[in-house]
Amino acid sequence: MVQITLDEEEAKVLAAALRSYLSDLRMEVAATDSFEYREALKLQEAALTRTLEQVEEKTGPAPV
């Protein structure tokens, strides 16, 4: 297990960056023709989603 320590502002910036990247990644998954590449992107999406959930667990969800 890897742990990092972030202050609240850093955690919020990380969460915003992850949300932005995940949005782009989902569009890339949808547009990808290669099955293998799509599956690799889906694994990446799942890992980043779990990371975002962990950050938001500590900082609270971002306002909509």
Taking only the tens place, the pLDDT of each residue in 6-62 is 999 999 999 999 999 999 999 999 999 999 999 999 999 999 999 999 999 988 776
What are the residue boundaries of the structural domains of the chain, listed by start? 8-56
d(CA 42, CA 33): 13
The model's pTM: 0.85
* Whole-angstrom distance, CA of residue 41 vs CA of residue 28: 8
Q: What is the pLDDT of residue 11?
A: 94
C-alpha span between 37 and 53 (Å, rounded): 24
